[in-house]
Amino acid sequence: MKNFKKIISILLCFSLIFALGSASMNVSAETASQKVERLKREEADAKAILEAISEEVEELDAQINENQSHIDEINSTIDANNALIEKTQADIEEDKVTFSKRLRSIYMSNSESRIKILLGAESFSQFLQLAQLTSSVSSYDKQVMENLAEQIKLLEEKNKENEKLKAEFVEKKAELDKQRETKAARQEEARVIFEEKSNLREEAEAEKRAEEEAMARRAQGGGSGSASAPQFAGSGIFGWPSDYNYISAGFASNDDVHNGTHNGIDIAGGGIMGTPIYAIGDGYVTYVANYCTHNFGKWYGCGCGGNYGNYAQIDHGTVNGNHYTATYAHATTIYVSPGQYVKKGQVIGNVGTTGWSTGPHLHLGITQNGYWINPMRVL
C-alpha cells in the first residue's frame, strides 16, 4: 500500500510538471520575476520526484543485496554437503573393499577359522561369547554401510531442499532485477527533467538580470525609451538592435550554414547570450513566437518558430516613402505581445540560441516594401 501511494504521488507530480510546462508555453505575458518563481517551483517538484524514485531504487538495491546474501549462504551449504557426500561415498567404497576381503578370507579358509576360534574356548560360557562374536562380524559391517548410506540419503535430501530454496531466491532476484531496471529508467527520466528545469530556471534568472540591467540603463538615460539603445557609426534611418556590433554572418552570406540564402544579418559576440534586443524603430508588434525551450547545449535546428525559434515581427511603418518590417529571431524570450506599440530602443527580448542556431546571436531581417534587404543599408 505504501509503494502504491508513492507511485500515485509520483504520477501526479509528473502530470503537474507537464501541465506546468504546457502552461508556460501559453503564458507569454508573464514577467521575468514570475517566470523565475514558476520555474523554481517546477524545479522543486522535479527534484522531489527524483528524490522519491532514487529512494525506491536504494530500497530495491538493499533487497537485492539481502537476497544475494541468502543465495550465497545456500550455495556455501550445498558445497559443504556435496563435499561430505563425496567423503561418505568414499568411506562406503573403502568399507566395501575391506569387507569383501574379509569375506573372501573366510570363504577361502572354508570356515575353518571360525571352527578354530570356537574350539579355542576354555569354557562353555566363553564358547557362547565367541560364537556370538563371529556371527555378528558381518552384521556389524552391514550396519556400518547402512549408516553411511543413510547419511548420504539425508544429505541428498537436504541438498534437494536447498536447491528448491535457492531456486526461489534466484526467481526473486530476477524479479527484483527487473524492478530495479524499470526504476532506474524512471530515475534517469526524472534526472533529465530535473536538469532541464534547473537549466530553464538558470536561463530565466539570466533573462531577469538582463532585463533589470536594461531597465537600469534606460532609467539612467532619463527613461526616454531610446536611451538604452547603443549607437554605432552609420547613416541609416533605424537604430541598432543590440549592445554588440560583431556581424558573424552577413546578408546573403555564402558560408556553409547559409549557402547564400541568408535573409538578414547575425549579430554575435562573446557574452551576448541573454543581453537585450532593442526595437530598431517605433512600430506595432505583428507576431510573436515565444514557446521554444531548446536554448542550451544545442548545436542543431529544432524547428521551433519555423527555425527562427523565439522571435518577434514588428511593423515599423513607412519611412521616406518605403514600408519596413523587421524580424528579431533566436531570442531566449520575447517580452512584447502582438498588437503592442513599441518605441525605438525599447527592450523587446533577450538574445538566445533557439531555433536553427549554432550559437547565441541575434538574427535581424528587414523587409522594404515586402522584399528582404541588407539591414546594413538602413541601420
Domain-located, residue 226: no
Given a contact cutoff of 8 angstroms between Cβ atoms, the answer to whether 267 and 241 are in contact is: yes
- pLDDT value at residue 224: 35
Quick one: 145 and 41 in the same domain?
A: yes
DSSP SS3 for 234: coil
**C-alpha distances in Å from residue 368, one per residue of 93, 170, 241, 296:** 108, 75, 17, 33
Quick one: 93 and 152 in the same domain?
A: yes
Q: Which of 298, 302, 107, 276 is nearest to 207 (CA)?
A: 276
Domain-located, residue 80: yes
Q: DSSP string covering 5-48, please?
A: HHHHHHHHHHHHHHHHHHHHHH--S--HHHHHHHHHHHHHHHHH
Quick one: 201 and 256 in the same domain?
A: no
| CATH code for the domain of 107 | 1.10.287
Domain containing residue 285: 246-377
Quick one: 299 and 353 in the same domain?
A: yes
Q: What is the dihedral of CA 314, 291, 241, 260, to 10 degrees?
A: -90
pLDDT along the chain (379 residues), means of 10: 48 46 41 79 89 89 87 82 76 68 57 51 56 58 71 77 79 86 89 86 72 56 42 71 86 64 84 91 94 70 81 95 95 93 93 86 94 89
Q: DSSP string covering 75-100, please?
A: HHHHHHHHHHHHHHHHHHHHHHHHHH
- pLDDT value at residue 322: 93
| CATH code for the domain of 258 | 2.70.70.10
Quick one: 295 and 190 in the same domain?
A: no
Domain-located, residue 233: no
Domain-located, residue 227: no
Full-model pTM: 0.42
Domain-located, residue 287: yes
Domain-located, residue 182: yes
Question: Among residues 160, 178, 207, which one ends one of the domains?
Answer: 207
Quick one: 19 and 140 in the same domain?
A: yes
Q: How many domains in the chain?
A: 2
**C-alpha distances in Å from residue 79, one per residue of 87, 163, 224:** 13, 11, 89
Tell me how far apart the alpha carbons of residues 316 and 322 are, in angstroms, rounded to a whole number.
10
Domain-located, residue 68: yes
- pLDDT value at residue 12: 46
Quick one: 315 and 365 in the same domain?
A: yes
State whether the Cα torsion 248-207-25-29 is positive or negative.
negative
Quick one: 136 and 202 in the same domain?
A: yes
Tell me how far apart the alpha carbons of residues 315 and 282 are, in angstroms, rounded to a whole number.
8
* Cβ-based neighbour number of residue 38 at 10 Å: 18
Quick one: 190 and 287 in the same domain?
A: no
Domain-located, residue 231: no
- pLDDT value at residue 298: 53
Quick one: 91 and 163 in the same domain?
A: yes
User: How many Cα atoms occupy the beta-carbon half-sphere of 49 within 13 Å?
Assistant: 30
Quick one: 100 and 25 in the same domain?
A: yes
Quick one: 132 and 6 in the same domain?
A: yes
Question: What residues pair up with 310 in beta bridges, in sequence order?
Answer: 331
